[in-house]
Amino acid sequence: MVINKSLKLENVRYDIRGPISDEADRLEKEGISIIRLNTGNPAAFGFEAPVSVLNALTESSGSSAQYSSSKGLANVREAIARYSSSMGIPNVEADDVYTGNGVSELIQVAMQAFLNPGDEILIPTPDYPLWTAATILAGGTAVHYICDEEQDWYPDIDDIKKKITSNTRAIVVISPNNPTGTVYPKELLGSIAELAREHKLVLFSDEIYDRLIMDGGEHVSISSLAPDLLTVVFNGLSKSHQICGYRAGWMVLAGDKSGAGGYIEGINVLVSMRLCSNVTGQSVICAALEDTQSVKANISPGGRLYEQREYAYNALINIPGISAVKPRGTLYIFPKIDTEMYGITNCEKFVLDFLREKHVLLTHGRSYNWMKPDHFRVAYLPEMDELVEVISRLSDFLATYQQSS
């Protein structure tokens, strides 16, 4: 009997954990040790959960065996609402907050509740690919607007304008951005908000890296510039508190919700169907949001993430044929590779060849819906010794690499 995947999964891709990651699994089964840099998973590289989080976990261990309400524990939602207000996110009360099993679950809820066939959503390219995948799975059409590498990877406002049609329903903004590490300035966010205003669009703002900004940069939530629009803001503890495995994320409905009753009803049905998010994960959120210090230590000069970013950027751009925009936040760098110099026509093959020869798993630009074969992403998470080893393996590999078809 042949059992196929459902037709709705036809064009759904999530290559960060796709076929090349499967190949890494296969090599590991053969006894080969692989350095896996495909996901932004800080704990896998020795980043520890802050003491504040561990204490909260111990204290709550007896009480997290029950289901919570579908939106999440009341005190947790209140803490998230306070945090959101402190970040300038307008008009958020506890009732506007939904906890989720990571932001990942909530992106899917938000898209499933929102989209009808034929609806278009503007999503950046390169993007964090779950946005594209969730849009397609929900029956919508992902229309990619260009982020311009020549302009520090900022969204190209003219390109967004060109791509707005009568079917466009929303714009997705990811700042700080995965995979580019770019932090969007206020004026640029203001221009995007203005377009949303003009064309009556909803804004979806993924702010999961809002606390991972270096070099004195500042996070601005686009919602703070659009209190007259509906903005759905996503955030969580996976990256800032290095606890991806706790699956602690949230989504808040901000700004003007006056016309959104139907949408909210849809969201409520979907979160009820999954009963509630992981209560153990929820139970550390209050303590984590109060602890801003442990996050800052990592991203300041002398801190692990800061120093690893410095090293990764400088070492990568020293390899012939590699250039990069210096990331100002997140855990990633998205270098460009000179495709002519290395005969590269297929970035998946480049990443696969590197994995097979040097046993390091990177991700290719196409995973991020970047259509040219000239980019790849490095998560600069390993301890310095291992990071030096990764870049030296890449440099050795490229010294002789010519892609064959």
Interacting residues with ligand PLP (CB under 6 A): 40, 102-104, 128, 174, 178, 206, 208, 236, 238, 244, 249
The secondary structure element, H or E, covering residue 125 is strand 120-125
**Residue (122 or 315) nearer to ligand PLP, CB:** 122
Q: Least CB distance from residue 282 to ligand PLP, whole Å?
A: 13
DSSP code of 129? T
Q: Which neighbouring-strand residues pair with 336?
A: 323, 375
Q: How far is the CB of 231 from ligand PLP (least distance, A)?
A: 16
How many angstroms separate the CA atoms of 267 and 111, rounded? 9
d(CA 384, CA 359): 18
Nearer to ligand PLP, 94 or 208 (CB): 208
Contacts of 335 (CB under 8 A, 6+ apart): 316, 317, 322, 323, 324, 375, 376, 378
Query: From the CB of 249, what's the least distance to ligand PLP, in Å?
Result: 4
Which residue, judged by CB position, is nearest to ligand PLP in the bound state?
102
Beta carbon of residue 376, minimum distance to ligand PLP (angstroms, whole number)? 16
**Smaller CB distance to ligand PLP: residue 90 or 126?**
126
Q: What is the distance between the alpha carbons of residues 89 and 231, in angstroms, rounded to a whole number?
A: 9
HSE, side-chain direction, 13 A CA sphere, residue 134: 22
| CB closer to ligand PLP, 107 vs 398 | 107
Return the number of the residue (90 or 179) whose C-beta is nearest ligand PLP. 179
CB of 369 to ligand PLP, least distance (A): 13
> Which of residues 140 and 236 has its CB atom nearest to ligand PLP in the complex?
236
CB of 246 to ligand PLP, least distance (A): 9
Give the type of residue at 149: E
Q: Specify whether the CB–CB gap between 164 and 122 falls below 8 A.
A: yes
Residue 221 CA to residue 208 CA, distance in Å, equals 11
CB of 183 to ligand PLP, least distance (A): 13
Joined together, the tokens standing for residue 303 give 């801190």
Bridge partners (DSSP) listed for residue 168: 120
196 CB contacts (<8 Å, ≥6 apart)?
Answer: 170, 171, 202, 203, 226, 229
Name the residue nearer to ligand PLP (CB basis): 339 or 367.
367
CA distance 391 to 395: 6
Closest approach of ligand PLP to the CB of residue 370, in Å: 15
Which of 272-285 are b and which e, b meaning 16 or more Cβ less than 10 Å from the residue's Cβ?
A: eeeebbbbbbbbbb
Nearer to ligand PLP, 122 or 208 (CB): 208
